[in-house]
Structures are given as structure tokens and as C-alpha cells.
A = this chain, B = another copy of it.
Amino acid sequence: MTDTITISVDAMGGDNAPRAVIHGASLALRERKNTRFIFHGRQEQIAPLLDEFPELRPASTVRHCETVIAMDEKPSQALRKGKGTSSMWMAIQAVKDGEADVAISGGNTGALMAMATFCLRPMKGISRPGIAAIWPTLRSDIIVLDMGATIGADAKQLVDYAILGSALARCLFDDDAPTVGLLNVGTEEVKGLDYIKEAGRVLTEASGSGFTYHGFVEGDDIGKGTVDVVVTEGFVGNIALKTAEGTARQVGSYLRSALKSNLMSRIGALFATSALNALRRKMDPRTVNGGVFMGLNGIVIKSHGGTDEIGYKSALSLSYEMARSRLIDKIGDTMQRFPIKVASEAPEAEPEANSA
């Protein structure tokens, strides 16, 4: 890896592609001038946009792909149709081939995970990949994983997520021993979740090798920022993320109604305009955009599909930082330092297409 970071971009992924993607790239380039882009997608749609954002042109290569994966396509279907031909697949392939340091797409999450797993393969020793979210909290940003890459987990998978998440935390937060917590319902006498308790035992023993194990955390510890890395099974992580998004929107909506409720409150809102705008920016989901696919032999970032150029700019900046801070090396290093081997109950990951 040289000083230059090359990002391989699925220019066709997401609701506002390719315009929002290309526009976002032009914004990202302004802040990180040593970025290079490889855009995969329909030449006839991308070329006019590069005319519109001419500063991007010298930093960009366009690779024409005819096939585009739809947002509602099943992963297995997408893999059959798009392997070797689609903008999504080709974006990932460029990482595998060493042409790019990181790949990004705003397309169909399930399809992207299936293709990334099939193309890049899980890292040696990691049974299944996870998706990490960067979650703003009262203390600072933290990492929560898995957001739903895999449904169902065993102790080995949670331990893997702890290794992956703490490596990501070391990249993002420059902290050599990030704290890790296991998401639980908080009581000691919990039935049916033996795999969480088992993972807790392993992490207690391994604490100190690249992370500090904090213990169990509860749902409200996420917003408090009690630990740097919250580890949970994918179904639960996905529900937690979406419930939090829903709650934030709900409270925001209450606030807007309250401030419109009478003349005095409208006047008050005028006085507080700058503060309320700062609050809006703080709560803007576009500023923290990008799920990090963890545990594969290459970095893939998923942007929200419905976002605009600001959201893509954030996701592209995140991609850049992941590559610059050598995430893959940090994961390998954490795995090497990890003192305990745990057997998984699950078979090694197979891409969706084979099992569906």
C-alpha cells in the first residue's frame, strides 16, 4: 500500500446512484486528495457525471459493467446473475486482485455480503463474517457488531466478533486496549443463552490481548457508551440498531411538534436556531454512514442505500480511514495475540448461493 488509497466503488448501488455516489466522491476527494477511485458501472451514466465534477476526473478510472443488482434481489439470485459481471461484484473483485485497498457499495446488503464472502472468503480462523456499525453515543462513537451479516451465533462467533471489533476500534479510536462488552439482558441467572456466558468466560481469560473485557452490557449501555465495542448476535444487533433509529426519529418528531405548538415556542425556536441546527447535524444519520464488513480477506464498506452525496462522502471517508489504518493487518495481529482457540458449532461460512 502506497501513500495513495484506492477505493473501488460500486457506482450503481443505492437509490440515488450513480449521481449521489459520484457527487459524494468529489466531496470526499476535497478532504483526502490522495484518494483514487475505480468506479464500476454503466459508462454512459458515469461519464456525464464526471463532466459535471471535473476535479474528480484525474483521480478516477471507470470500468464499464452492464449488470446492476436490484435492491430487492435475493442474495442467491444476485450472486448467480452478478458474479463476474455486475458493478457490485467487480467492485469487490478489484480488492481481491490487489488493484484497490477497499470496496464500497450502497446496494443490497444481503447481495453485497454474499458476493463479498464468496469473492474474498473469510479470514483463516474466522467462521463467519460480521457487519460492524459505528454508533454515536453520549461518550463518543463506539462499535456495535454484528448488525445482521449472520443470523444466529455461537460462543466462537461472539469471540470472533470481539476480536474483529476491537481491531476496528484500534483503527478508529487510536486506543490500544479498547473495552469490549457482550450484550445481554443483564441478569446473572439467564436461561437459554449459554453461548453468551461461554463467550464471556473465554473473553475474561483472554482480556488484555488487544482489548479489555468489560463483561455483560445491557441495551441502554449502547447509548451511554459504556464500552468501545458491543458484541452481539446479528438478529439482535439489527433489531437494536433499527429500534434506536426509530426512537431517535420519534423523539426528533416530538421535538419539532413541541416547538411548533404555540407562538412562544416558535419564537423560542427562532432564538435557538443555531443550537437546534447543531443538534440536527449531530443526529443526522448521514454523518455516520457505513457498515464495515469484518472477517473477510479484504475490506468492504456498505453505505446506506437511501443516502445522498453527504452520506456517500462519509462512507467514502470511512473507507479511506479503514484502508489507511491497515484494518486487515490489525485484525491479523489481534488474532495472533489471542491466547485461546474456541471451536465453533457452525460449519465454515458458505456463500448464500450454495446454501439457499
**Interface on A for B, CB 8 Å cutoff?**
74-76, 110, 137-138, 148, 150-152, 183, 185, 187-193, 218-224, 232, 234-236, 238-255, 258-259, 261-262, 264-265, 267-276, 278-279, 282-283, 352, 355-356
Whether B236 pairs with A235 at a CB distance below 8 angstroms is yes
Whether A241 pairs with B219 at a CB distance below 8 angstroms is yes
With a CB–CB cut-off of 8 A, which chain B residues contact A356? 189
Knowing A238-B185, A268-B269, the reply to whether A246 touches B275 (Cβ < 8 A) is no
Give complex CA distance A258, B246 in Å: 21
Knowing A245-B219, A261-B278, A272-B272, the reply to whether A151 touches B191 (Cβ < 8 A) is yes
With a CB–CB cut-off of 8 A, which chain B residues contact A240? 219, 239-240, 243
* A-B CB contact pairs (8 Å), 25 listed: A74-B188, A74-B189, A151-B193, A192-B235, A218-B242, A219-B241, A219-B242, A220-B246, A221-B246, A223-B243, A224-B250, A240-B240, A244-B246, A247-B247, A247-B251, A248-B251, A254-B282, A258-B278, A259-B272, A259-B275, A264-B271, A264-B275, A265-B275, A267-B272, A271-B271
Knowing A235-B185, A352-B189, the reply to whether A265 touches B254 (Cβ < 8 A) is no
* Residue in B closest to A263 when the chains form the complex, CB atoms: B271
With a CB–CB cut-off of 8 A, which chain B residues contact A236? 235-236, 239
Give complex CA distance A249, B247 in Å: 10
With a CB–CB cut-off of 8 A, which chain B residues contact A276? 258, 265
Give complex CA distance A220, B249 in Å: 9
Give complex CA distance A151, B193 in Å: 8
With a CB–CB cut-off of 8 A, which chain B residues contact A261? 275, 278
Name the contact of A268 in the complex, choosing from B238, B270, B352 (C-beta under 8 A).
B270
* Residue in B closest to A260 when the chains form the complex, CB atoms: B275
Whether B271 pairs with A187 at a CB distance below 8 angstroms is no
- The residue in A150, A193, A223 that gathers the most chain B C-beta atoms within 10 A of its C-beta is A223
With a CB–CB cut-off of 8 A, which chain B residues contact A253? 138
With a CB–CB cut-off of 8 A, which chain B residues contact A239? 183, 185, 218-219, 232, 236, 239-240
* Residue in B closest to A282 when the chains form the complex, CB atoms: B254
